[in-house]
Copies of this chain bind each other. A is one copy, B any other.
Amino acid sequence: MATLADVARRAGVSPATASRIINGSSKPVTDALRERVLAAVEELQYVPNAHAQLLARSHRTAIGVIVHDVSDPYFAEITRGLQRVATAHGRLVIICNSYRDPVKELEYVELLRAHQVAAIVLAGSGYHDEEFTKALDGKLRVYEGTGGRVAVIGRHEHAGDAVVPDNEMGGYLLASHLYELGHEHIGVIAGPKQLTTTTDRLAGLRRAAREHGRKLPPTRVAYADFDRASGADAAAALLDTEPGLTALAALNDSMAIGALSLLRTRGIAVPERVSVIGFDDMPIARDVTPALTTVRLPLVDMGARAMTLALDELADRTAPRIEQVGAELVLRDSTAAPPA
């Protein structure tokens, strides 16, 4: 691996001048030397050692991102927004998948800290786990104490910059839509119990139920894993225990699509016999059949805003900025009035 000293030796100059030329320093350098050095760089295919650079100038530039799983469309969209802003600022993004494992999440915070990232963006949902939450908050505080920035997406215990989707309102819109269509027997396919996202969306559903004089009995709420297969299983379980359901409300689109697939294999018409509604409005929601009625979150925009918060160097650290983003009902073809 060619080093700066190699370049300097070949060009017959000192490492200092070579460094100045390569980095375009403000210090003046003769053109003759400049040419010799650049020629040497080309011949040796020299690339500066990023780690040595980072050690020398204490100028942290990379950004760390922790998501649950990039291959999940929800996070893929958010990540796209994060990347767009980051590359626009010439920043490298390091993506870490926690796969919803709190332990891994803690490990990744340490790893990113070790890599001297300028900021950490936490894009996953928060957990209902006192011990873990305290540990995570502690590690983030320590990181912030050393000058690092932190931005989170979603509701977390950590006090700091955040982009918070209005999951509760989304859940409220979702359930209200079903009640207004006349549904009385609604099955809910919820996400993992320990995620704040699940809790918040469910809370919105419950508020809508109260306002419409209904209830959401526990037997009509099945907890699944936010993915397609798990959503299909939950739909099956709900229909088996409560055959009279006329609507299935899934707390994300993947599970709604799983429910659609199960209903199709059972020959149950959607929306004629059973309505299905999702959450998030992933790109594919338009392309399933029937096209999925859902609650839209501006995922790409949320990622972009979180990265913007993380990159803002001169923000007041004592006054955390909370950016609320709204949820919006998207009417398509998978919901209708219940059968008479």
Contact = CB atoms under 8 A, between A and B. Distances in A.
Interface of A: 1-2, 45, 47-55, 69-71, 73, 76-77, 79-80, 83, 87, 92-95, 97, 110-111, 113-116, 139, 142, 146-147, 228, 257, 260-261, 283-284, 286-290
From DSSP, what is the main secondary structure of chain A's interface residues? helix
Nearest to A81: B71
A114 B1 contact: no
Nearest to A289: B289
Given A1-B146, A71-B79, A49 B116 contact: yes
A45 B260 contact: no
13 contacts: A1-B146, A47-B113, A49-B55, A50-B116, A51-B115, A55-B55, A70-B71, A71-B77, A83-B97, A87-B97, A94-B94, A288-B289, A289-B290
A145 to B, nearest CB: 9
User: What is the oligomeric copy number?
Assistant: 2
A134 B83 CA distance: 28
Q: Which residue, A69, A114, A139, has most C-beta atoms of chain B within 10 A?
A: A114
B288 A47 contact: no
A47 B110 contact: yes
Contacts of A87: 97
Contacts of A287: 228, 257, 260-261, 284, 288
